[in-house]
Amino acid sequence: MSKHIQPQLFDTNQEIEWCPGCGNFNILKALKRAFTELEKKPEELLLCSGIGQAAKLPHYINSNIYNGLHGRALPIATAAKIVNSELTVIAIGGDGDMYGEGGNHFIHTIRRNPNITMIAHDNQIYGLTKGQASPTSNFGMITKLQKHGVINRPFNPLSVAIGLNCSFVSRGFAGNIEQLTSILKKAILHKGFALVDILQPCVTFNKLNTYKWYQERVYNLDDEGHDPHDQQEAFRKSLEFGDKIPTGIFYENKENYLNTYEQNVGVDDQALTKKSDDSRDITALMLEFT
């Protein structure tokens, strides 16, 4: 661990509003560890989120933060990265926020490939609004609202991302801080859009996908010698979600054509605020409209 930067540097004095035992606490811990081990400074970070229990996380990390509308973390993160490519930008939220209300942005941000990290606290439920089904809830799951069981098949974020040739696709488990920290570090260092889906027990509203339920099923893809550059194998692994649930890095796309969005629009070299005044002079543009 770095001598200069300690995890406490990322603490804030905000009172944490999560239920005792919530998987979010370990995600917060792993993220602080990842920033510490990567020797990030608070001013180098921007954490963007929408609405939800998970979306509160940026308030609990000493960094630049943007807390916006439900489902809108990704467009904000993409815009911020374009304006200042020197920032480490993270978009964070729950499975409802990122895959439901923000589902359209999820798909098209993968296609754009900005150099940002997306973290989804996937508790397979709407936590903040007290336990309705979310896009990733298991088929047949009984909730307060879905009294006869969920009738929709679950959204599979990893299969969608791999199918779209996403630059980096991974899954962690909030019950394994060590592995989660390592995945988060790799995702942040990866140049391009990096998805980290995290199995996150909601101890209050999801009585099906508990710590025990996950612990009995999760395994590490590294232990099987999985090759993350093999898209078809990664896709096959992404379909596995039952008695066995893979975690780790599913897919890493290293194809040359895959420039980042910032490279494609020509702003990846320097923060726009640091560019010379000349490049920001819009007089000629304004004259075109007179």
C-beta of 70: minimal distance to ligand TPP in Å? 3
* CA–CA gap between residue 70 and residue 216 (Å, rounded): 33
Task: Confirm or reject binding of residue 127 to ligand SF4 (CB under 6 A).
Answer: yes
Q: Which amino acid is at 45?
A: L
Task: Confirm or reject binding of residue 93 to ligand TPP (CB under 6 A).
Answer: yes
Q: Which is nearer to ligand SF4, 10 or 205 (CB)?
A: 205
Count of C-beta atoms within a 10 Å radius of residue 196 = 27
Q: Please identify which residue in 10, 24, 64, 194 interacts with ligand SF4, judged by CB under 6 A.
A: 24
On whether the CB atoms of residues 117 and 73 are closer than 8 A, the answer is no
Q: Please identify which residue in 36, 49, 53, 247 interacts with ligand SF4, judged by CB under 6 A.
A: 53
Backbone angles phi and psi of 69, in degrees to 5: -80, 160
Distances (CA, A) of 52 to 21, 72, 81: 17, 12, 23
For 200-231, letters b (16+ CB in 10 Å) and e give bbbbbbbeebeeeebeebbeebeeeebebeeb
- Can you tell me whether residue 120 is helix, strand or coil? strand
Residue 52 binding partner per list ligand SF4, ligand TPP, none, with a CB distance cut-off of 5 to 8 Å that depends on partner kind: ligand TPP
Backbone angles phi and psi of 217, in degrees to 5: -115, -30
On whether the CB atoms of residues 196 and 172 are closer than 8 A, the answer is yes
Q: Which is nearer to ligand SF4, 127 or 157 (CB)?
A: 127
Residues 203-262 that bind ligand SF4 (CB under 6 A): 203-205
Q: Which range of residues in 143-151, 163-171, 199-207, 271-279 is near ligand SF4 by CB under 6 A? A: 199-207
C-beta of 52: minimal distance to ligand TPP in Å? 3
Residue 197 binding partner per list ligand SF4, ligand TPP, none, with a CB distance cut-off of 5 to 8 Å that depends on partner kind: none
Q: Which residues bind ligand TPP (CB under 6 A)?
A: 51-54, 70, 93-97, 101, 121, 123, 125-129, 134
Q: Which residues bind ligand SF4 (CB under 6 A)?
A: 18-19, 22, 24, 53, 123, 127, 202-205
